[in-house]
Amino acid sequence: MLTLNSPPKIGLHDAKINQREAAGILGVAYPTCCRYMTSGVKGVRLPSAKIGGKRVTTREAVAWFFEAVQIAEAQQRDGADAPAPDDESLDEAAADLEAAADAAGL
């Protein structure tokens, strides 16, 4: 399973960008970028901080977010979210297959 480091922290002395700049980098509309910062997508939230009543982020955080969403999509596509079957359910499935094979005369 692919993993990603924890999201970068937004510090006071980091080079900050506003939501419109972040939206431009991500190639999405301004409201979509706002939603990424507040609600997230695919379980990943764009790291941001509220400074002076305005929400800001960094280019590093945008890059992290983009990569994290790609990983989340890949894991979802590969079924990483699906729970692994336990031994009991595997034994039941094997018994069902044997019974079906016996019934078919195999």
Res. 40: pLDDT tops 50: yes
The model's pLDDT over 77-105, given as tens digits with 9 standing for 90+, comes to: 887 555 555 666 667 666 767 777 777 77
Average pLDDT, the chain: 82
Maximum CA pair distance of the chain? Answer: 76
Please give the C-alpha separations between residue 21 and each of 9, 16, 48, 69, 85, in angstroms, as whole numbers. Answer: 18, 10, 13, 19, 45
Give me the percent of the chain exceeding a pLDDT of 90.
48
What is the Cα–Cα distance from 40 to 46, expressed in whole angstroms?
Answer: 6
